Structure 1
C-alpha cells in the first residue's frame, strides 16, 4: 500500500513539473525579450524626467554574438513612464534586477531627489544595495563616457564606488537604502559621492611640451604628405585622426568629492580632503593613506584601523555637547625625503613628531568640517537623530536649534601599529 502511494506521489510531482515547464519555463526570464538594465542616469527638464538606461542585450548562440550593450534615453512625467518608453521604442521589457547603479544629474539634485527615487524604492526587483551617486553635470554624459577598462561605463563606475574604495578612504559610497534612511531620519540630511569623468592621464608641464612638439611634427608631416600624396592617402590620414580622437575621448571615473543633501536637495559639497576627514568618522578604514607634514617633510601614514565614537550629552543650562573620539592605528608608509638604511629597515619606527602632527591636523580638519556642515544646515553627524534616541526628554525643547547651538569637543589619538 505504501509503495503505491509513493508511486502516485512521484507521478503527481512529475506532472506538476511538466506543466510548469511547458507553460512558463519554470518562471525563468525570457532573455530574448528582456533588456537587462545595468545602470540608470536621471536628469530633469522642467516637469519631465530624462532617464538614460544602460542595458545589456542578450544574444542567442545561433546568432553567433556575445551580449551587446546599448543606451536608451526616454522621457516621462514620472520615472515609471520613462521606463515604459523603453518597451515602446525597442520592444524590450526593462528588468532592474541586475541594476547596481543609479546616477542623479545636477538638474535632478536641484529638487527633491526622492521625486524620482521613489520609483526605485517601490520596485520589488531592485536591490536595496544598489549604489547611488550624483554628478556635477548630466547623468547622461556620465553613462555615455567611454572607459578604457570596461566596455560598460556603468560597471566601471561601480568599481570606483566599491567597498574596497571605501576602506582605503578614497570615496564615501552610499546605497539606495542608506540614503533613504538618512532622508527619513530626524535630520533629513545625507550625502552621496560625486562621480566625475576625467582623462586617464593628468596633464603635466612635460606632457604639454611633448604634446606641442608632437602636434608641430604632425602638422609638418601632414603638410608634406598633402603636397605629395593622392586623395586615397588623404582619406587614410583623416581616418587615422578620427581613430586617435576616439581614443582620446576615453575617460576614467573618480568620486573623491561628496555632495551634501538636506530634504533631498543638494546644498553643498565636500572637497577630497574633507571627504577623507569624514571617512575617519563614518567608514571602517583599512590601508588608507593619510598625509602629514612634520619639519617641512611630507609623510604618508598607512591607516590600519580607526575607532570612532560619537556621544551627544546635555550639560548645564541645557547645552548640547557632541564629543567625537577617534583612535587611529597607523604605521609609516612613505616619506618625501630619503631615510637612512636603519629607518627603512625598521618599518615600525615612525619619526618623532609625526603622530602628534597627525593628531593636530585631523582634529583641526574635524572642527572645520563640522562648522561647514553646521553652516549648510546639514546634520550628517546625526545630532537630531541621536537627541531623539538618547536624550528624548530634551527632544522637543532642542530639536529645532540643536544644530546651531551644539558645542563640539574632539579627541584624536594616533597610535603606532607596533
Structure 2
C-alpha cells in the first residue's frame, strides 16, 4: 500500500512539473510585439458634445544615426466612450493600444467642466494601467498640449512628467496627483480632489535689442550696416535652425468637487498648501521688506493641524506651521561679515515671510471653502473623530469652519 502511494505521489509530481513546463513555454514573458502593439505613453481626453476625443501619444521604434531608438506620434480617435475611442486606434492603424506603459492622463478644459469620471472610469476598470499614473488638466484642449515639442524634450508627455516630479513637490512649486489619489478623494465623503494645471510659456520675455540711432541724425557707416546685415542674416539662420520651443509650467492647481473643476489655486496658494500638507526641502521663498527683497531657503517645515467640533456644532480648524529657514540671497550686496547660511538673516525678513505665508494659507482655505472642495480634509478628520455627530454637521462643516493660522519662521542655527 505504501509503495502504491509513493508511486502516485511521483506521478502527481511529474504531472505538476509537466504543467509548469508547458506554462513556461506558452508564456510571452511580457514581451511586446511592436509591429502589432501601440505603446501608449500618455493620453489626452477632450469632450465635444456627446463624444470623447482621445489623443494617444505612442512610442514608435525608429533607428537613426543620432542614437535615438524611438520617437512619438499622436493619434486622435473619437468615440461615444473612451473605450470606443481606443478601439478606433486599432481600426485606423492596425495597432492594438497597450496602456501598461501609460504614465500621464491629461484632461482638457471641457472634460474638467463635466464629471471627469465619465472619462476616468475606463482607466480604473482597466487592469493593465497603473493607478500611479499622473493626472493633470489644462486650459483649452489636451491634444494641443500633447502636440507641443518642449525645450527639455521633444516628447510632450516626457517633458510634462519631469515638471510633475516628486522633487518639484518637495520645493513646493507643484502639487501633483495620481489616478489612485484623485479617485480616493472623489469617492470619499468630501468628494474633493485636485490636480495640477498645465500651461506652456516662452523661455523668456521678448528683449528689446534695437540699436541706438546715430547722433545728430547722421547716417550709419558702411561697417555698421554690414555688421547689422550680418547679424540679421545670422539671426534668421539660427532661428530657422533651432526653432524657439516653449516650456511647461504646472504651478497652478485645479480644485474639484464631485468630479467637476470648481476653482483654481494660484502658484502662491499652491506653495502655501504644500507648506501645510507636505514636506518641503530646500524650497525658495521670496519676500519684500523695507530693507529690500530677500530670498529664504526653507530647509524643513513642521506643519500641525487641529480640527475640533464645538458644542455649538461649529468646526474649529487650527494650522500651525513651523519652518526652519536661512538666507539664500538678497537684492543688496552682503557685507564682509554676512553669510548666506542664515546666520545673519534680518528679523524683518522672517517677519515678512510669516505674514505673507499666513495670508496665502488663509486665501487657500477661503478658496476651498467657497468652492466646496474640502482641500484640507476637514470632513475626513471629523468622520474619524466625531462619528456620532458627523452626519448632523457634515453639510455645513466646511462653510462655517473657523480658521486660525499661525506661521513661525526660525533660524536654522
Q: What is the CA–CA distance in structure 2 between the aligned matches of 1:161 and 1:32, rounded to whole Å?
A: 31
Q: Deviations over 1:372-404 (max 9, x none)?
A: 221222210111222111111221221111111
1:294 aligns with 2:289: yes
- Give the corresponding residue for 1:303: 298
For residue 375 of structure 1, the aligned residue among 365, 370, 373 is: 370
1:210, distance to aligned residue in structure 2 (A): 4.6
TM-score where L is the length of structure 1: 0.85
Question: For residues 332-343 of structure 1, what are the structure 2 equivalents within 5 Å?
Answer: 332-343=327-338
1:323 aligns with 2:326: no
Question: For residues 74-85 of structure 1, what are the structure 2 equivalents within 5 Å?
Answer: 74-85=77-88
User: SS where residue 181 of structure 1 aligns?
Assistant: helix
Is the Cα contact below 8 Å between 2:323 and 2:410 reproduced in 1?
A: yes
Q: What is the CA–CA distance in structure 2 between the aligned matches of 1:19 and 1:370, rounded to whole Å?
A: 56
1:275 aligns with 2:278: no
For residue 256 of structure 1, the aligned residue among 237, 251, 265 is: 251
- Give the corresponding residue for 2:173: 170
1:242, distance to aligned residue in structure 2 (A): 9.8
For residue 366 of structure 1, the aligned residue among 361, 365, 369 is: 361
Using a 3 Å threshold, how does the CA distance of structure 1 residues 312 and 250 change in structure 2: closer, same or farther?
Answer: same
1:135 aligns with 2:138: yes
Is the Cα contact below 8 Å between 1:54 and 1:72 reproduced in 2?
A: yes
Q: What is the CA–CA distance in structure 2 between the aligned matches of 1:129 and 1:105, rounded to whole Å?
A: 20
Q: What is the CA–CA distance in structure 2 between the aligned matches of 1:160 and 1:26, rounded to whole Å?
A: 33
Question: For residues 178-189 of structure 1, what are the structure 2 equivalents within 5 Å?
Answer: 178-189=181-192
* Uncovered stretches (5+) of structure 1, i.e. residues with no partner: 226-236
Using a 3 Å threshold, how does the CA distance of structure 1 residues 406 and 346 change in structure 2: closer, same or farther?
Answer: closer
- Give the corresponding residue for 1:34: 37
- Give the corresponding residue for 2:216: none
Is the Cα contact below 8 Å between 1:32 and 1:58 reproduced in 2?
A: no
1:262, distance to aligned residue in structure 2 (A): 1.0
Root-mean-square deviation (CA, aligned residues, Å) is 3.1
Task: Considering fraction of residues, name the structure with more helix.
Answer: 1
Q: Deviations over 1:53-88 (max 9, x none)?
A: 001123599xx9822321100001110111111111
- Give the corresponding residue for 1:229: none
Is the Cα contact below 8 Å between 1:96 and 1:125 reproduced in 2?
A: yes
* Uncovered stretches (5+) of structure 2, i.e. residues with no partner: 214-224
Q: What is the CA–CA distance in structure 2 between the aligned matches of 1:180 and 1:304, rounded to whole Å?
A: 32
1:203 aligns with 2:205: yes
Q: What is the CA–CA distance in structure 1 between the aligned matches of 2:373 and 2:313, rounded to whole Å?
A: 22
User: SS where residue 318 of structure 1 aligns?
Assistant: coil
Is the Cα contact below 8 Å between 2:326 and 2:341 reproduced in 1?
A: no
TM-score where L is the length of structure 2: 0.86
Q: Deviations over 1:275-299 (max 9, x none)?
A: 1111111221111111122224111
Using a 3 Å threshold, how does the CA distance of structure 1 residues 59 and 317 change in structure 2: closer, same or farther?
Answer: same
Using a 3 Å threshold, how does the CA distance of structure 1 residues 355 and 347 change in structure 2: closer, same or farther?
Answer: closer
User: SS where residue 362 of structure 1 aligns?
Assistant: helix
- Give the corresponding residue for 1:414: 409
Is the Cα contact below 8 Å between 1:104 and 1:133 reproduced in 2?
A: yes
1:11, distance to aligned residue in structure 2 (A): 11
Q: Deviations over 1:343-399 (max 9, x none)?
A: 127643311222222222211221222122212222101112221111112212211
Q: Deviations over 1:168-223 (max 9, x none)?
A: 111110111111111111111111101112222x214xx1335999xxx99x969x
Q: What is the CA–CA distance in structure 2 between the aligned matches of 1:405 and 1:99, rounded to whole Å?
A: 42
Question: For residues 94-109 of structure 1, what are the structure 2 equivalents within 5 Å?
Answer: 94-109=97-112
Q: What is the CA–CA distance in structure 1 between the aligned matches of 2:387 and 2:352, rounded to whole Å?
A: 39
Using a 3 Å threshold, how does the CA distance of structure 1 residues 19 and 340 change in structure 2: closer, same or farther?
Answer: closer
Using a 3 Å threshold, how does the CA distance of structure 1 residues 99 and 246 change in structure 2: closer, same or farther?
Answer: farther
Q: What is the CA–CA distance in structure 1 between the aligned matches of 2:154 and 2:319, rounded to whole Å?
A: 43
1:133, distance to aligned residue in structure 2 (A): 0.3
For residue 123 of structure 1, the aligned residue among 102, 126, 144 is: 126
For residue 74 of structure 2, the aligned residue among 50, 71, 76 is: 71
